[in-house]
Amino acid sequence: MARSSSRREMISRACDLIEDWTGFALRETAPRRIAETFDERSRRLGYDHPLDYLEELRHLPPTADEPQRLVNLITNGLTAFWRDKPQLSALRSLLNHLYDPHYALGPVYVWCAGVSTGEEAYTVAILADEEDVDVHVLGTDINTDFLATAQSGTYDEWSLRRMPSSRRDTYLRRIDDRRWTTDHSAFDDVHFKHHNLLSPPPSSPHPDGRWDIVLCRNVLIYFSQKATSRALRNMTDQLADEGYLIFGSSEQLHPEDLGPDAPHLRPIRRGGGFVYRPGRRRTGATIEPGHWPHESGDPFPALPPIEDRTRRADSPDFSTLADVSTLAETTSNVDDGDTVAELLRTAAEHIDDGDLELAAHCLEAALGYDPFHVESHCLMGTILHSLGATERAAEAFQKALFLVPDHWYAAHRTAIIHEARGDIASARRAFRRTLRGLEISPDPLDATSVLRHIAGQSFRLRRQAKRQAHAFLQLHDNAS
């Protein structure tokens, strides 16, 4: 009984701590693995009890090494250039509305909050360049791994999957057969910074420090009501008097549920999408799709949808993926009645049908629901690797290894990625970890459902991984 009580206390304190750090409300299935995760971390770091580990975490800032590792684990970063076209149309309309080249005293200041790996910030700069609008763009995120990718400006075909090849060839430079870089003058005023949406907002370079546009797409869906209210207040407090907020096209705000401290936001349809402005609205009113009013007295130019302004070229060819240009925009939001198991089963159906991108979105939803689910991380890595998104695949496998350090499958797939990159030192470490994991029982694949289904027979995979690890280590250990 005492042990059960201690476990409940650990789970409760861990969920509270993560929400205090990030605003994330861990959903109801996540506690199944929270206890295992914190127990494993406490053992590896030498604590006598997980509650001692939690107590130490409580006294550390979220930016300290161990809290930041946990934050990087639970945050998702599945995004792309040119994602969510209706909202990009609204953004194009706003840029034209806010910028007058004859009277402009400076650029349009745009803050991309929760920018993930940076594709959104670069997309904003491309839109502005096409409209001949000067912009200053700041992308912020709480995940330091994501920010490292954003600052490098290097992306693979997965990140470009929604971007017409004509734009890609204009604004990006090919590095090799799988990677592109943001080497264009349009990105000269694109910047990135580490930031927590629950902290005071960053200032723009404008003398008053305000932002003309704040984008925060598909971030608040993970937040608790209290954290959503606080984040919205931070964003609106830093918004210029004529400023606008843009969320995801499928996100709904219900201000009456967020408490008295939440700002009042007025929805407005613009350019095929919708935006928000701070303003009064009647108590209890709910914003639903299809009911966003047009703002009187503040007309915007009627712009055609984005796809009509630039001729769309053929999408990149993914031999194992259905035509991604025909797929609807998908969000990671799931209803409370859904479970990780149901989402994994749906992902398996999409995998069987060859719809790997839809499968990846199901896995993103599963990980939003439970970021401690090792099989989901391994599946995400496997799918992204098959799509050529090796950087994202490596991140997914590293998250699995953070949770289960001796997971031989994740270590083996990581080793293969490092070997293909030519990173011999990292591949050597990963292959050695693979061999260590293969010596441990039980096999982590035995506890999976979908991963076993797509990976094949475990004993054959184990034999192949062992043979490849020994061959690599024999070759490179002898060479060194």
Identify the domain boundary among 26, 41, 74.
74
Residue 337: inside a domain: yes
**Is the same domain home to 462 and 354?**
yes
Look up residue 165 and give its amino acid: S
Residue 318: inside a domain: no
**Is the same domain home to 54 and 114?**
no
Per the structure, the complete domain to which residue 408 belongs is given by 324-479
CA–CA distance, 358 with 356 (Å, rounded to integer): 5
Residue 434: inside a domain: yes
**Is the same domain home to 440 and 351?**
yes
Residue 319: inside a domain: no
**Is the same domain home to 126 and 269?**
yes
The pLDDT assigned to 3 comes to 55
The pLDDT assigned to 324 comes to 29
CA–CA distance, 110 with 246 (Å, rounded to integer): 11
Identify the domain boundary among 74, 107, 133.
74
Q: Pairing between strand 179-181 and 154-156?
A: antiparallel
The pLDDT assigned to 212 comes to 96
CA–CA distance, 357 with 8 (Å, rounded to integer): 37
The pLDDT assigned to 299 comes to 38
The pLDDT assigned to 116 comes to 95
Nearest residue to 19 (alpha-carbon basis) of 6, 31, 1, 8:
31
Q: Pairing between strand 135-141 and 190-194?
A: parallel
**Is the same domain home to 194 and 298?**
yes
**Is the same domain home to 70 and 94?**
no
The pLDDT assigned to 268 comes to 87
Residue 314: inside a domain: no
The pLDDT assigned to 106 comes to 82
**Is the same domain home to 238 and 334?**
no
Residue 180: inside a domain: yes
CA–CA distance, 285 with 412 (Å, rounded to integer): 53
**Is the same domain home to 290 and 188?**
yes
The pLDDT assigned to 309 comes to 31
Residue 317: inside a domain: no
**Is the same domain home to 224 and 108?**
yes
Residue 55: inside a domain: yes
**Is the same domain home to 115 and 221?**
yes
CATH code, domain with 129:
3.40.50.150
> What pLDDT tens digit does each residue of the chain (480 aa) get?
455 667 788 888 898 999 999 999 876 556 667 888 888 899 999 999 889 999 999 999 989 999 999 999 988 888 899 998 899 999 999 999 998 776 667 899 999 999 999 999 999 999 999 999 999 999 999 999 999 999 999 999 889 989 999 999 999 999 988 899 999 999 999 999 999 999 999 999 999 999 999 999 989 888 988 999 999 999 999 999 889 999 988 777 766 667 777 888 888 888 888 899 887 543 334 334 334 444 433 433 333 333 333 322 332 232 332 332 323 333 333 343 357 888 899 999 999 899 998 999 899 888 888 889 999 999 999 999 998 888 889 999 999 999 999 999 999 999 999 999 899 999 999 999 999 999 998 889 988 888 888 777 778 899 999 999 999 999 887 665
Number of domains the chain contains: 3
Sheet with 154-156, strands from edge to edge, namely 154-156, 179-181, 173-174
Residues in the chain: 480
Identify the domain boundary among 282, 309, 336.
309
**Is the same domain home to 384 and 247?**
no
This prediction's pTM: 0.82
As to burial, measured by CB atoms within 10 angstroms (0-12 exposed, 13-18 middle, 19+ buried), residue 211 is: buried
CATH code, domain with 410:
1.25.40.10
Token readout for 127 is 């839109």
Q: How far is CA 389 from CA 94, 133, 147, 381, 421, in A?
A: 32, 32, 17, 9, 12
Nearest residue to 293 (alpha-carbon basis) of 270, 264, 316:
270
**Is the same domain home to 266 and 382?**
no
